[in-house]
Amino acid sequence: MKLRNIFAFREPPESESSKPFLEHLEDLRWTIVKMAITMVIAMAACFTFRQRLVLVMQRPLHEIGGQVSALRALGITDSITISFHLAFYAGIVISFPLLLYFLAQFVLPALTAVEKRFMFPAIFVSFALFLIGVATCYFWLLPKTILFFFHDTQSLGWIPTWTVQEYYSFVTRFVLGFGLAFELPVVVLALVRFGLVTYQFMARTRPYAIVLIFILATIITPTPDVLTLVAMSLPMCLLYESCIWIAWFMQRKAARDAAA
């Protein structure tokens, strides 16, 4: 029954004939091509502003007294390698709505007229949540985390001298991981919309969901310390709790519409 729910929305409308398998493969190929071209263009645009990107990513260091000079480039090609990494991650951020749109075009080819009206608002909400997660991490959580590790290193009598490779890897993974964590409501609500999960199921399995959230946060966070783990897990738990109540509202509205 659940499997039928998963693929029910993939069935084409009565006015359309089912596409052959090879045509679906062709659609997939063009979707990948469009996403790749979008990413390359966004990455190239971001690479031209690599000096500004570097300054933006170093901003949290000013919270600890401007320790930018403490960063050390140990590799000969670090300047180019890190510039490409920053351009790649920044390209993901600015092209996120288009990537979602291309993916939606392929995964949801048989949207009804009502569902098509909701596709663009859903993409907008998804992108907004992603930006909220990135901004929350960048302006609030990241500086506090860096400051904690800076003082913790000093408390052990060590000099906090970080390499540019380690610093930018930590910052990009942390910020993007937090942004993706804020996509949880969109995923849950999509599952509710297609009848794969219900309010009752989500409420009943809340303790297991919290455990899974902490496991997911452990995988996403770039460091294994408890402070970073809790800082990422708590917002995700609050988002999941909000999803339970939104699912309740959606089911109640669907029941009223069915009764009417």
Single pTM value for the model: 0.73
pLDDT value for 133: 87
pLDDT confidence band for 110 (50 / 70 / 90): low
pLDDT value for 115: 63
For residue 205, pLDDT over 60 is answered with: yes
**Per-domain residue ranges of the chain:** 8-179, 183-260
pLDDT value for 137: 85
For residue 22, pLDDT over 80 is answered with: no
Tens digit of each residue's pLDDT (9 = 90 or more) over 33-64: 999 999 999 999 999 999 998 888 888 887 66
For residue 224, pLDDT over 80 is answered with: no
Compute the distance between CA of residue 237 and CA of residue 206 in angstroms, rounded to an integer. Answer: 9
Q: In the numeric block, which tokens belong to residue 124? A: 């907008």
Contact 221, 137 (CB under 8 A): no
pLDDT value for 215: 82
Q: Which residues contact 108 (CB under 8 A, 6 or more apart)?
A: 9, 10, 115, 119
**Residue 163: beta bridge partners?**
72
**Residue 72: beta bridge partners?**
163
Tens digit of each residue's pLDDT (9 = 90 or more) over 136-152: 888 888 888 888 888 88
pLDDT value for 1: 47
DSSP SS3 for 19: coil
Scanning the structure block, which residue is given the tokens 């519409």? 257
> Count of H helices and E strands in the chain?
11, 0
Q: In the numeric block, which tokens belong to residue 117? A: 């009206």
Contact 87, 40 (CB under 8 A): no
pLDDT value for 38: 93
Q: Which residues contact 96 (CB under 8 A, 6 or more apart)?
A: 127, 130
Q: Per mean pLDDT, which range of 6-10, 84-88, 254-258 is the poorest?
A: 6-10
Looking at the chain, the whole-number percentage of residues with pLDDT higher than 70 is 80
Contact 249, 202 (CB under 8 A): no
pLDDT value for 221: 64
Compute the distance between CA of residue 62 and CA of residue 50 in angstroms, rounded to an integer. Answer: 19
Q: Which of 255, 144, 130 is nearest to 195 (CA)?
A: 255
For residue 173, pLDDT over 90 is answered with: no
pLDDT value for 7: 41
Tens digit of each residue's pLDDT (9 = 90 or more) over 71-109: 788 888 888 999 999 999 899 888 988 888 888 777 666
pLDDT value for 10: 43
pLDDT value for 3: 41
Compute the distance between CA of residue 72 and CA of residue 166 in angstroms, rounded to an integer. Answer: 10
pLDDT value for 93: 86
